[in-house]
A = this chain, B = another copy of it.
Amino acid sequence: MTPRTLEKTGSKKSAAARERLASWISSRGLKATRQRDVIVDVFFAQTGHLSVDELLEKAKQRDPTIGAATVYRTMKILADAGLASARHFEGGQTRYEAALDRHHHDHLICTSCGSIIEFENERIEELQETVAEDHGFHVTHHKLELYGLCRHCRVEQASDRR
């Protein structure tokens, strides 16, 4: 058996997340495992919106025996614990982003390079709420995604056209 200890990468924030996860896990009879440690570690070492495939890839670098099912399962636990949130952008796969101490935000997604920018706009949120009320709706969650070309890819396209 491989030793359980591993160099924890990442900031205080990821340390806090790991603690929260530990109590979440023990509080409901789950068990801490080497694989979960690796996956969680890998997840918090990155920033951005990771797909399960990407996470699996990186996790395998540390422990080649880790299987895809475990990554799926672990990310679901992280999401349940409120430490990650799942996003379903265009293109099929679910992506996860760190969720601890973050407020709500929406996304700009570049359809050319795939880069994702987060933004917050209080005014839009308010208007959404108003619209919903006008229709008698009680909104529990929403999805606002703006797709297009990022600054970088716009420039590139312009020069391609020359």
A interface residues (Cβ-Cβ under 8 A, vs B): 88, 90, 108, 110-111, 117, 119, 121, 123-124, 127-128, 131-132, 134-151, 154
Contacts and interface: CB of A to CB of B under 8 A. Distances in A.
Contact of A144 (B111, B144, B150): B144
Contacts of A141: 147-148
A146 B119 contact: no
Given A138-B154, A151-B137, A132 B108 contact: yes
A127 B128 contact: no
Contacts of A142: 144-147
Contacts of A139: 108, 146-148
Most chain B Cβ neighbours within 10 Å, of A132, A137, A139, A140 = A137
Contacts of A138: 148-149, 154
A110 B137 CA distance: 8
A137 B111 contact: no
Nearest to A123: B127
Given A138-B148, A139-B146, A142-B146, 7 more contacts: A108-B137, A111-B140, A124-B124, A124-B131, A131-B146, A132-B146, A141-B147
Contacts of A144: 128, 142-145
